[in-house]
Amino acid sequence: MKSITTLLNQLTKGGVWEWKSLGEIATDICIGVGAIKSQIGQGNYPCVHYGEIYTKFEIWFDKCISKTDEKLIKEVKYGNYGDLLIANASTAKTGIGKCCAYLSQEKIIIGKNITLIRHNQNGK
């Protein structure tokens, strides 16, 4: 099995990279609390459902598929440009831990079962 260092060297084609702990780059980590499946389609505010992370989006996305009414959700968590979104639940084994970056200036509602990592790195 290849080491993580070997894989990173291959991915960056011998480019420059360095190890950082999550605590060194993350400025906020939270879990979404809203936009469950039954609330999607009931409004005009863009939102992300955890299932979309592992079925619809690739490494990054800049347009939400779903919309909801933010008044239906208590303690709304919002996503911003560059945030990393991680599915922390799935109906398929391969879906848990799938991650993508949100790359639009429009604020979005982060649904339940999504971990959001806000950071000070280039999201793309």
Residue 6 lies in a domain: no
Residue 8 lies in a domain: no
Residue 2 lies in a domain: no
Q: pLDDT value at position 1?
A: 58
pLDDT in tens, 29-54: 999 987 778 888 889 999 999 999 99
Residue 105 lies in a domain: yes
Is the model's pLDDT at 27 over the cut of 80? yes
Our count of domains for the chain comes to: 1
**With the CA atoms of 115, 117, 16 and 14 taken in that order, what torsion angle do they form, in degrees rounded to the nearest 10?**
20
* DSSP code at position 12: T
Residue 37 lies in a domain: yes
**CA-CA distance, 124 to 61, in Å (whole number)?**
10
Residue 5 lies in a domain: no
Q: pLDDT value at position 52?
A: 95
Q: Which CATH number fits the domain that encloses residue 67?
A: 3.90.220.20
- pTM, two decimals, is 0.85
Domain containing residue 78? 17-119
